[in-house]
Amino acid sequence: MSGASLTIRKLRRDFGAKRVLQDVDLDVARGQFVSLIGASGVGKSTLLKIIAGLDTPTSGSIRIGEPGEKPDVRMMFQEDRLLPWRSILDNVTIGTRSRETEARKLLAAVGLAGREDEFPSVLSGGQKQRAALARALLHKPDLLLLDEPFGALDALTRAAMQQLLSDLLEEAPRTVLLVTHDVEEALLLSDRVIVMRSGRIAHDLVLEGSRPRARGDATLARLKEELVRSLLLDEGQTRNGVQETASSSALEAAE
Amino acid sequence: MSSITDTLPSQSLNAWKRVAASPSFKAVYRRLVPWILPAILILAWHIAAVTGLLNRNVLPGPVDVVNVAISLIERGQLQHHLLVSLRRVAIGFTIGASVGLGLGALVGLSSTARQVIDLTMQMIRTVPHLALVPLMIFWFGIGEEPRVLLVALGVVFSVYINTVSGIRSVDPKLIEMGRSYGLSEPQLIWSVILPGALQQILTGIRYALGVAWLTLVVAETIASREGLGFLVQDARELLRLDVIVLVIAIYAIAGWLADFLTRKLEARLLSWHPSYGKGVRPS
């Protein structure tokens, strides 16, 4: 099984009187890499948490995989969330039994060979996030959920991690859902970009060609421009609660 | 100035600098430094006693204290009373720490247990446990039980409070991670929650050791026939100031030793922690 399919129907999540997700419908084919982008607080992370089973929807249904399949779902977070009292190797093998050889191989693949017995506190932010990636991949998940996994990294490390992720996915394809604020990251890595706006899916953009895409491609640059403009508009709306023109909110963001 | 440093002394100064810079010298130096001040204080005490600056009827000198210690050891008294006291602390501490840890873990992990137990514990906690001395003696007589129980009672609350707050301060993001990586509830407690709370639990234990000693001193000074507290009471009646000072010194050494051992334990259990790891915080 190279990934699991995902079917979401009329998914709703209320936090008190606030409706964070309003009747979301989403179909993801197996092996597809989907990015979710959108302004802060539009429900991207909530959607991911519900899929991961860390939150329960108010109503609606989720199906992961076809009937009869038992797909494995793993989530990678914005923070590394490594246990400080466990060595890197013991962190990567958490929740598994006797997968040490595989874990060592994966750690070598993410560039952490020889660091297996060290504690997380001596690693840099980028190295910790690599260890977290190795931990997520060790379980060979059919569905990999990534919640802004590279958001806290510097630009160079982020580019290296994006490359690493697409290399590892090429070796072992699986379904991926990536929540990100980085429009370029979404366009580079995914087959499909979904823009969310106030708890709904606003745009569903299927990208042509195979991933990963080259940075600086003309079509990508145009798409990025469009998406950023649309997102800035959302940001202005959520902040002020009134309709604004794209140019005025762009100016506001530049201040 | 330059004519002096240019000649022979500068060579020996350089040699001295080289010795001072060597790692083994630094290690010895680092170990010795904390003992310089106590050594000076004891020396000053000794000089004051010998020169008569200090009236021996007010405070005997260090030599007198050592002498009385030797004579008490020769008569087998010091060992006996010390062992009795240590035994009381050990038993009382073990009981108190076990109960505190158990109840603390229960209340920290289960909100039902918290609702049932916590208020009661907080109320009992506000009663100064030493105020129970007369009641304990009335109930249990002047045997071992009231003393051991008082020590346990003094220990219970600091271990309890620190265990509860240690468990509740574990990063919920790590718990969420553990859940999403398929850890069962017992696995979650064992590999995420308890290690996360350990630092504060150890702080509670360290503090509790101090309380245990304090409680013992009070518990032993009342209607006692054995132990260090009895030794002090006895000495007071016989006006033996040297014995009183000796016992105070023993309390100080024992307290320091307990603290030293818990710190060793901390360094071992928290070796993953950046501020406890080797070489980061020289101790």
Could you read off the pLDDT of B132-153 as tens digits, one per residue? 888 888 888 878 888 899 999 9
Measured between CA atoms, how close is A216 to chain B, in angstroms?
Answer: 36
Minimum Cα–Cα distance from B270: chain A residue: A85
Answer yes or no: is pLDDT of A252 > 70: no
Q: What is the pLDDT of residues A177-208, one digit of tens each?
A: 999 988 888 888 999 999 988 888 888 888 87
Any CB–CB contact under 8 A between B181 and chain A? yes
Nearest CA in chain B to A94: B181
B182 vs B168, residue with greater confidence: B168
pLDDT at position A171, please? 84
Q: CB–CB of B272 and A121 under 8 A?
A: yes
Question: Are A94 and B191 an interchain contact pair (Cβ–Cβ within 8 Å)?
Answer: yes
Write out the two tokens for A224. Answer: 């990025």
> What's the pLDDT score for residue A249?
39
Exposure b/e, B200-219, CB count within 10 A at least 16 = b: bbbbbbbbbbebbbebbbbb
Is ipTM over 0.85?
Answer: no
CB of B281 within 8 Å of a chain A CB? The answer is: no
Higher pLDDT, B38 or B11: B38
Per-domain residue ranges of chain B = 2-50, 62-269
Q: Which domains are assigned to chain A? A: 6-65+185-254 (3.40.50.300)
- pLDDT tier at B112, thresholds 50, 70, 90: very high
Query: Class of B62-269 per CATH?
Result: mainly alpha
Chain A CB contacts of B273 below 8 Å: 84-85, 121
Band of pLDDT at residue A242, cut at 50, 70 and 90: very low
**Does any CB of chain A come closer than 8 Å to the CB of residue B267?**
no
Please answer yes or no on whether A119 and B277 come within 8 Å at the CB atom. Answer: yes
CB contact under 8 A, B180 and A94: no
Dihedral (C-alpha) A198, A204, A210, A216: value to the nearest 10 degrees? -60
Mean pLDDT for all residues in chain A: 83
Residue B177 contacts A, CB cutoff 8 Å: yes
- The pLDDT of residue A244 is 38
Higher pLDDT among residues B211 and A215, named by residue? B211
Partner A contacted by B278 (CB < 8 A): no
Mean pLDDT of A12-21: 88
Alpha-carbon distance of A74 to A165, in angstroms, equals 15
Q: What is the DSSP letter of A214?
A: P
Instruction: Measure CA B184 to chain center.
Output: 37
| Per-residue pLDDT, A54 | 87
How much of chain A exceeds pLDDT 70, in percent? 90
B89 band by pLDDT with thresholds 50, 70 and 90: very high
What is the band of A214 on the pLDDT scale with cuts at 50, 70, 90?
A: confident
- Confidence (pLDDT) at A246: 40
Helix residue ranges, H only, chain A = 44-52, 88-92, 100-109, 125-138, 155-171, 183-189, 218-240, 246-254
Residue A236's pLDDT band, with cuts at 50, 70 and 90, is: low
Q: Which residues of A fall within a CB distance of 8 Å from B279?
A: none
Residues of B in contact with A95 (CB under 8 A): 178, 181-183, 187
**pLDDT tens string B30-64:** 888 888 998 999 999 999 988 988 888 888 999 99
pLDDT at B283: 36
Residue type, position B200, single letter: Q
The confidence score (pLDDT) of residue A234 equals: 67
pLDDT band at B197 (very low <50, low <70, confident <90, very high): very high
**pLDDT at residue B188 above 90?**
yes
Query: Which of B272, B275, B278 best tests the A interface by mutation, with the highest count of A CBs <10 A?
Result: B272
Q: Please, what is the Cα angle at A82 between A81 and A86, to 5 degrees?
A: 155
Query: Which positions in chain A have a beta carbon within 8 angstroms of at least one beta carbon in chain B?
Result: 52-54, 74-75, 77, 79, 81, 83-86, 94-95, 119, 121, 135, 139
Interval B234-252: pLDDT, tens: 888 888 899 999 999 998 8
